[in-house]
Each structure stands twice: as structure tokens, then as C-alpha cells.
Amino acid sequence: MMYLTESDVRELLPLETAIELVEGAFHRLATGEAINQPRRRLILPTGATLHYMPGADGAYFGTKIYSTHPKHGAHFVFLLYAAAEATLLAMMEANYLGQIRTGAASGYATKLLARAGASSVGIIGSGFQARTQVAAMRAVRPIRQVKVWSRSEAKRVAFARECDAVAVNSAEEAVRGADIVITATNAKEPVLESAWIGAGAHVNAMGSNQAQRRELPAELVLRADLIAVDSLEQSRMESGDLLLALDPERWAAHNIAELKDVTGRPSEDAVTIFKSHGIAIEDVVSAGYVYEKAVQEGRGRYS
């Protein structure tokens, strides 16, 4: 079995490649060639939670397993198996794997749904995930300006310096008038208002993945012309953004569809949303690529 570190993953998986991998995975989900199962959680009285999410695609299947605790952080690993023999091929540290593939999923959704000439980004949040979100936008659209706001002035200024962005003084200033809006927060309640989102804008909401938490207001969800999700099954379990705005029985009438079934924008002036939760198949294809590159380059430790 090969063991790969966070540094190995980060060096072997370019974001642009990850976007292509994720796009292919969604195409294979559409044809039934790939298999995805929603995230499950084991919640302990101590506040610790174990999360696990399996999937399969082509030569590989595997699962990401991670633990979280509100006071002690998160710890991620991915187990990659050979589909033909069910042998364990690799265990890899998976914090960066999750960051890169989450950015890649938003990149693919933006490639499908944002206007071709979209050039401005407004992002709320300046944490770990926010960096690859912005990088993914630059990979798929001709971005000329990025504005960022987060609750910590020091963090948003540092983010702006690292990511060639402009730190602003309010969430409204960050997103009003932006062609692409990103929410990458741990918020329990909406972090923006529907009125700040202009006609033709595309929104990537990736921060909330619990049924009682949301980043988007109900007014924006109800107003959107198309909402793409990575998995309807997983969304019905943990998408507070949608569950708190609309009865799941009515989702189809509000043009809520899986990303694998989306072909493009409804119209030039449409408001579109990608509600990202992160699904296992994104990890599987990314981990498979990392493993193959590690074999080619003689990386990793064996046991």
C-alpha cells in the first residue's frame, strides 16, 4: 500500500487538471458508469463527528473518511482501492484533496453556468477553501477583478494580498454587481441579500452542508432561474440553503437539478446557483489521478 502526504497531493494534483477530472466524473454519473453515495455522519456526545463518503469510477473505488470537532479541527484521509481486485492501493492525507476538488467542482459548474464574458468575482469568506474557489474561477473565465469580504479584516487583507484581490469593507460591496458570487463561510444564517445579486449573475454557494445552516436567503433561492446541485440525494439530507427555503417536494418545479444533467445557462439574464456539498466521486477521480502520478514519479511510502 502506498502512503501519500498532503504535500504529495498538493504537488501532484493541479487545479486545472482537477476541473477536467471532475467534469469527466459528472459525465459518467450521467451515463451510470460512475457510482456515488451520499455522505453519512456518526455524531458522538463528545461533539466529535465521523464523516464518510464512498464512490466508484472506472478502475477505482474508495472512500473519504474524516473526523471533526468544533474545538479540535478536522482530520481527513482517503482510501483508494482497485475496482478489479478490491485491493487497497493507497491511503492519502486528504485535506488538500478536498480543497482542490471542491474548487474544481465550482470551476466546472461555473464553466457551464456563468456568462462567457464573466470577468468580476465577489467572494464572501477568506478561509482555506476560498483560495481554490477563486483560482478555479480564473481557470474557466477571463476574471479581471476579485473583491473579498470576511468578518476578520486581517484575514481578508491577507487573502487579498495572496490572491490578487481587493479587500472591501462589507459583504454588499464585495458581491453587488459581480458576475460571479462565491460564498465560502461557516455561517448559520444568510451572508448576503437577494437584492445584491444582479441579473445574469452566477452564484457558487459551497460553505454550508448541514440541514439547519445556510448562506443564501430564501428570496434568492426562490428567484433563481436554475439551481444546480452535485447530488439531489445528498442535498435532501444536508442542504440548509434549499431545505430552509423550499419543500423538497417542490424542488423540481423550481428548476433544481443535478449538475450531471445541466447543459448550460437558461438565458443570458438568468440568475443561476451551484449549491455545492462535495460528493465522493470528486474525491475518487482526484485520488485516482494522484495515485497514478505518484506511481509514475516514484512518490509515496510503501508498507
Residues in the chain: 303
Q: Are residues 157 and 236 in the same domain?
A: yes
**pLDDT digits 0-9 by tens, 155-209:** 999 999 999 999 999 999 999 999 999 999 989 999 999 999 999 999 999 988 8
Average model confidence (pLDDT) across the chain: 96
| Domain identity same for 113 and 245 | yes
Q: Across residues 25-41, what is the average pLDDT?
A: 97
Give yes or no: residues 163 and 190 share one domain.
Answer: yes
**Bridge partners, residue 3, by sequence:** 91, 301
Quickly tell me which residue has 511510502 as its cell.
301
**Contacting residues for 250 by C-beta, under 8 A, at least 6 apart:** none
Q: Cell numbers at residue 271, please?
A: 440568475
Signed CA dihedral, 228, 231, 234, 237: sign only = positive
Statement to judge: residues 249 and 294 lie in one domain: no
Task: Please check whether residues 132 and 68 belong to one and the same domain.
Answer: no
Number of neighbouring beta carbons within 10 Å of residue 250: 9
Predicted local distance difference test score (pLDDT) of residue 237: 93
Q: How many CB atoms lie within 10 A of CB 96?
A: 23
Question: What's the mean pLDDT in 46-51?
Answer: 97
What are the cell numbers at 14? 493541479
- Based on the fold, state whether residues 160 and 270 are members of the same structural domain: yes
Question: What is the pLDDT at residue 11?
Answer: 97
Mean pLDDT over 148-155 rounds to: 97
The pLDDT of residue 132 is 97
> Which residues are bridge partners to 277 per DSSP?
none
Q: Are residues 154 and 74 in the same domain?
A: no
Pairing verdict, β 120-124 and 145-149:
parallel
Tell me, what's the pLDDT at 68?
96
Confidence of residue 16 (pLDDT cuts 50, 70, 90): very high
**Domain of residue 69, CATH code:** 3.30.1780.10
**pLDDT exceeds 90 at position 47:** yes
Q: Is the pLDDT of residue 66 over 90?
A: yes
What integer is the mean pLDDT of 235-250?
A: 92
Give the C-alpha separation, 104 to 165, whole Å.
20
Residue-level pLDDT at 249: 85
Q: Do 235 and 115 have their domain in common?
A: yes
Same domain, 123 and 229: yes
Q: In this structure, is residue 65 part of a structural domain? A: yes
Angle between helices 15-31 and 95-113 in degrees, nearest 10: 70
Q: What is the pLDDT of residue 211?
A: 87
In a domain, 104, yes or no: no
Nearest residue to 112 via CA among 182, 183, 180: 180
Give residue 103's pLDDT.
97
Nearest to 183 by CA among 159, 168, 201, 205: 205
How many domains does the chain fold into? 2
Confidence (pLDDT) at 253: 80
| Rounded Cα gap, residues 65 and 77, in angstroms | 6
Same domain, 47 and 159: no
Please check whether residues 126 and 250 belong to one and the same domain.
Answer: yes
Measure the CA–CA gap between 198 and 123, rounded to whole angstroms.
15
Q: Tell me the residue range of the domain where 30 lies.
A: 2-98+280-302
The answer to the question of residue 54 being in a domain is yes
For residue 289, give the H/E element and its range: helix 280-297
The enclosing domain of 143 has a CATH number of 3.40.50.720
| pTM, 2 dp | 0.96
Q: Are residues 159 and 232 in the same domain?
A: yes
